[in-house]
């Protein structure tokens, strides 16, 4: 094989090795399963899980850390929830239509005009009384499956609806009670962690009320209730809270000031 020696004026054959902006976009689209998705390796997920668990325990009101913990540890539980939704007519409809609970999708004025005791009226009352908004729910980033990402997003967006149905405020005691209910319902490690370690911040009186009255009720309600993700709550605003509780299987809350 003979090679021609390049002369002083000769140039190497041109090969364009530049990476264009379009290449970066195509690569991002290939790995990004949904808007905002951040692909991560198992090692990265483990590191995120450890860091977010520490921060969530240190400060339970760090909702961003609680969200990361839920996404990086909940794949098995999310698949189980997704399967329950697929095998339920109403749950399957939710998976197909992908409704979102946000201020942009809610007729807040209309809900305020509903009679007292209706689900929609009591939900808005809960938002007003606790000064919370459905728009504060973190978007999903670290779930490497588009359908499972919606499942955990739906779980987050119905969380305040669970507060309404369970009659629990957003203080530490109320959040712990809801976490016990959700832990039984969903099996998400993040919920279990919050249920087990959340009570350490309660005083002795509240801890006694929690352990003797509220946890037994929350666990029993969680076991008795149908999967709470299988209810199209957007179609239930005019239903009374009591009838919706009965339909889902949530027991009436104890007559305790939380």
Tokens at 112, concatenated? 């305020």
pLDDT digits (tens, 9 = 90+) for 46-58: 999 999 988 887 7
163 marked as binding residue: yes
- pLDDT of 187 over the 80 cut: yes
Neighbours of 117 (CB within 10 A): 12
pLDDT digits (tens, 9 = 90+) for 67-123: 999 999 999 999 999 999 999 999 999 999 999 999 999 999 999 999 999 999 999
Look at residues 86, 152, 160, 94 and name the one whose alpha carbon lies nearest to residue 122. Answer: 160
Domain ranges in the chain? 35-248
Task: Share the mean pLDDT of the chain.
Answer: 89
24 marked as binding residue: no
Neighbours of 133 (CB within 10 A): 11
- pLDDT of 27 over the 50 cut: no
Are 229 and 154 contacting, i.e. CB atoms less than 8 angstroms apart?
yes
- Between 1 and 201, the more confident residue is 201
Provide the pLDDT confidence category of residue 152 given band limits of 50, 70 and 90: very high
160 marked as binding residue: yes
- pLDDT of 28 over the 50 cut: no
Mean per-residue pLDDT for 154-181? 97
């Amino acid at each position: 094989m003979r090679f021609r020696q390049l002369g002083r004026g000769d140039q190497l054959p041109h090969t364009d090795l530049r990476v264009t902006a379009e290449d970066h976009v195509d690569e991002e689209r290939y790995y990004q399963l949904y808007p905002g998705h951040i692909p991560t390796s198992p090692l990265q997920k483990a590191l995120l899980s450890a860091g977010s668990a520490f921060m969530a325990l240190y400060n339970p009101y760090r909702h961003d850390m609680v969200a990361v913990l839920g996404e990086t540890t909940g794949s098995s539980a999310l698949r189980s929830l997704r399967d329950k939704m697929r095998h339920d007519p109403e749950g399957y409809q939710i998976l197909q239509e992908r409704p979102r609970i946000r201020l942009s999708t809610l007729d807040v004025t209309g809900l305020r005009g509903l009679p007292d005791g209706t689900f929609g009226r009591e939900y808005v009352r809960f938002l007003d009384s606790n000064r919370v908004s459905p728009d504060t729910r973190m978007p999903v980033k670290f779930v490497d499956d588009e359908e499972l990402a919606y499942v955990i997003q739906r779980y987050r967006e119905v969380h305040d609806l669970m507060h309404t149905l369970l009659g629990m405020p957003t203080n530490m005691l109320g959040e712990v009670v809801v976490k016990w209910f959700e832990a039984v319902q969903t099996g998400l490690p993040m919920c279990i962690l919050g249920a087990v370690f959340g009570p350490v911040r309660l005083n002795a009186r509240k801890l006694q009320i929690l352990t003797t009255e509220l946890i037994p009720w929350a666990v029993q309600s969680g076991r008795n209730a149908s999967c709470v993700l299988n209810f199209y709550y957007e179609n239930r605003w005019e239903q009374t809270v009591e009838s919706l509780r009965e339909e889902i299987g949530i027991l009436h809350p104890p007559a305790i000031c939380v």
